[in-house]
Amino acid sequence: MGKTTGFLETARRENPYREADERLKDFEELHAALPVADRRGQASRCMDCGVPFCQSDYGCPLHNLIPEWNDLLWRGLDRAALERLLQTAPFPEFTGRVCPALCEKACNLANDGVTNRDNELYLIEQGFGQGWMVPQPPSERTGWRVAVAGSGPAGLAAAQRLNRLGHQVTVFERADRPGGLLMYGIPNMKLPKAVVDRRIRLLEAEGVAFTLNTEATAAAVAGFDAALLCGGARKPRALDVRGAEAGGVHFAVDYLTAATRSALSGEAPAISARDRDVIVVGGGDTGNDCVGTALRQGCRSVVQLEMLPAPPEGRTPRNPWPEWPRVLRTDYGQLEAIARQGHDPRVYETTVKSIAAGPDGRIVSLETVRLAASASGGFAPVPGSEVTRPCGLLLIAAGFVGCDERTLAAFGVAADARGRLCPADGSHHLTGRLFAAGDMRTGQSLVVRALADGRAAADEIDEWLRRSGA
């Protein structure tokens, strides 16, 4: 399995970023691909480690057979490697681009893990390029009809699996394009929308029906034998400060959606950072996507506020391998801001105190305040640390607090205290013919977890249909 000495001979090398100055001129992919010979060299680094934590719960929610397809890739057997990958990974073209690659951090090579994500991307793009990715409709139909509400990664993974198991699947999507956050959320430079469209066409060719611009409700799915709710955890955490109703204050996903619509249509974005001082509230990945998007739109400056202290540079004793390392990471948007502005956009232990608007009701500045750990265990403002910062666009990327009430009301179901549709027995079965999966069940998470959850829900529905005879 693998080249036992590969990791001693070849250093880890990721797909290189395009130069920041170059990629800031467009919304095209961030990375270029390594030459094929180097790719095989990277796969050869997957050693015969004996206990591959990469495919354990620590490393991969899909339990991808990583050492097996790395070995085949190294040997030049791309098609066999892809087939092995597709046994567990429904859409490697998504995870190969946006997955944080928990597997690489759980790798026995620790900080120097095998480049599984780039290897996965190479294999699936070979698959599409070589014409190996052909529709796989089921050989026979069961006669059962399943409705899927929501076409994010959870809904798409469930639809693919249910369809291949022979059920007739209709995906309802309230937006004008399928994909959920893959389409409207994750920016084009991280996941080109043509890649999402390509997969939708394949699913359609396999027999999955998509009904767009349509709200799924109990009435809309009444004629189906089962319904799976995959509506996401899309309710944003609001900014509860004086002046938050000013013009130019937006939630991150609304801003990123407008940017994607503009990139797709070529028209000016409905919300633009051009020539504005932009402040992003939230130091996480969504905030980073806002930073990268604002820079591409030609903002004057960008600052990213984070309430928490900066994470440590390296693992602490309480965060050992093979856990995901909770360490300081500088993502593409922050790297681009450093290249453009000469300094990191992140300001830690700081939050917004109030927002000031001009006579036209639009934000002109905001006051920030430093935070310090308080005796009660939380964070408290530090008196006298207030700073007034110019701001023409304030983007709130402060996380999500659960699924939206519209879908709950439409199906007459109630969320738990954390805003999730999460049955107490750990299953996906809510009640009667109704199931839930993805962020809607787990809370805002990762694409790879949504895919795994969608597939698990599909298997549960299949078993339930066969058991109950619906």
Ligand X SMILES: Cc1cc2nc3c(=O)[nH]c(=O)nc-3n(C[C@H](O)[C@H](O)[C@H](O)COP(=O)(O)OP(=O)(O)OC[C@H]3O[C@@H](n4cnc5c(N)ncnc54)[C@H](O)[C@@H]3O)c2cc1C
CB of 156 to ligand X, least distance (A): 7
CB of 107 to ligand X, least distance (A): 18
Enclosing H/E stretch for 357: strand 350-357
Question: Of 70-78, 171-179, 193-201, 366-374, which segment contacts ligand X by CB under 6 A?
Answer: 171-179
In 3D space, the residue among 434, 98, 464, 47 whose CA is nearest the CA of residue 288 turns out to be 98
Question: Of 28-36, 122-130, 284-292, 333-341, which segment contacts ligand X by CB under 6 A?
Answer: 284-292
181 near ligand X (CB under 6 A) = yes
256 near ligand X (CB under 6 A) = yes
Peptide bond into 309 cis (omega under 30): no
Closest CB to ligand X among 226 and 369? Answer: 226
Q: How many residues bind to ligand X according to rule CB under 6 A?
A: 41
Structure tokens at 89: 């990974």
What residues contact 274, with CB distance under 8 A and at least 6 apart?
Answer: 297, 298, 299
The CA angle 52-55-60, to the nearest 5 degrees, is 145
Structure tokens at 172: 């309802």
Closest CB to ligand X among 74 and 172? Answer: 172
The one among 277, 439, 460, 462 contacting ligand X by CB under 6 A: 439
Rounded CA-CA distance 329/324 in Å is 12
- Residue 240, classed as helix, strand or coil, is coil
CB of 435 to ligand X, least distance (A): 13
Find out whether 107 and 59 touch, Cβ atoms under 8 Å: yes
In 3D space, the residue among 297, 387, 296 whose CA is nearest the CA of residue 22 turns out to be 296
State the first-to-last Cα distance of the chain, in angstroms, to the nearest integer: 45
180 near ligand X (CB under 6 A) = yes
The one among 434, 447, 461, 465 contacting ligand X by CB under 6 A: 447
Rounded to 10 deg, the angle between the 332-341 and 285-296 helix axes is 40
Find out whether 168 and 147 touch, Cβ atoms under 8 Å: no
285 near ligand X (CB under 6 A) = yes
CB of 154 to ligand X, least distance (A): 3
Question: Of 43-51, 72-80, 85-93, 150-158, which segment contacts ligand X by CB under 6 A?
Answer: 150-158
CB of 180 to ligand X, least distance (A): 2
216 near ligand X (CB under 6 A) = yes
253 near ligand X (CB under 6 A) = yes
What residues contact 360, with CB distance under 8 A and at least 6 apart?
Answer: 247
CB of 420 to ligand X, least distance (A): 11
92 near ligand X (CB under 6 A) = no
Looking at residues 222 to 251 of the shown chain, list those that interact with ligand X (rule: CB under 6 A): 230-232, 234
Rounded CA-CA distance 244/226 in Å is 42
The residue ranges that bind ligand X (CB under 6 A) are 98-99, 149-155, 172-175, 180-181, 185-186, 190, 215-216, 230-232, 234, 252-253, 256, 285-286, 289, 407, 410, 438-440, 444-448, 450
